[in-house]
Amino acid sequence: EVQLVESGGGLVQPGGSLRLSCAASGFTFTRSWMTWVRQAPGKGLEWVANIKQDGSEEYYVDSVKGRFTISRDNAKNLLYLQMNSLRAEDTAVYYCARHPGQSFDWWGQGTLVTVSS
């Protein structure tokens, strides 16, 4: 069974940094594009970033370019999201998801990031 388990969320001050992790199991991680999607409290979903199977390509939504970095460790089946220069508007539940083709077919349970002083 596919499992995606996020961790690393928490409370951080504006301007601070946080690194999220997503542990993948139940599928061949090295064959899958992976993505991060976020959801602000009471709001809709927003695609944040994705990364190719071998990590050679990564793409971001404009609002996080230059601040967030997606990466992966294929030896450990781990996906990461390094978030720097955090802003209040980055407050959200962050989900990792498997990204075959043009849809997101399996999602983790999410980890909450709160940016507040």
Partner 1 sequence: QSALTQPPSASGSPGQSVTISCTGISTDVGGYSHVSWYQQYPGKAPKLIIYDANKWPSGVPDRFSGSKSGSTASLTVSGLQAEDEADYYCSSYAGNNQWLFGGGTKVTVL
The owner of tokens 């990031």 is 113
Region 77-116 residues binding partner 1, contact defined as CB under 8 A = 95, 101-110
Kindly state whether residue 27 participates in binding partner 1, applying the rule CB under 8 A.
Answer: no
For partner 1, the closer CB: 80 or 104: 104
For partner 1, the closer CB: 27 or 107: 107
Closest separation between CB of residue 97 and partner 1, Å? 8
Question: On the CB side of 103, how many CA atoms lie within 13 Å of its CA?
Answer: 2
- With CB under 8 A as the contact rule, the residue among 41, 44, 54, 117 that binds partner 1 is 44
| Burial tier of 31 (Cβ tally within 10 Å: 0-12, 13-18, 19+) | exposed
User: In 3D, which of 9, 34, 38 has the Cα closest to residue 97?
Assistant: 34
**N-terminal to C-terminal alpha carbon distance within the chain:** 40
Q: Give residues in contact with partner 1 (CB under 8 A).
A: 35, 37, 44-47, 50, 57, 59, 61-62, 95, 101-110
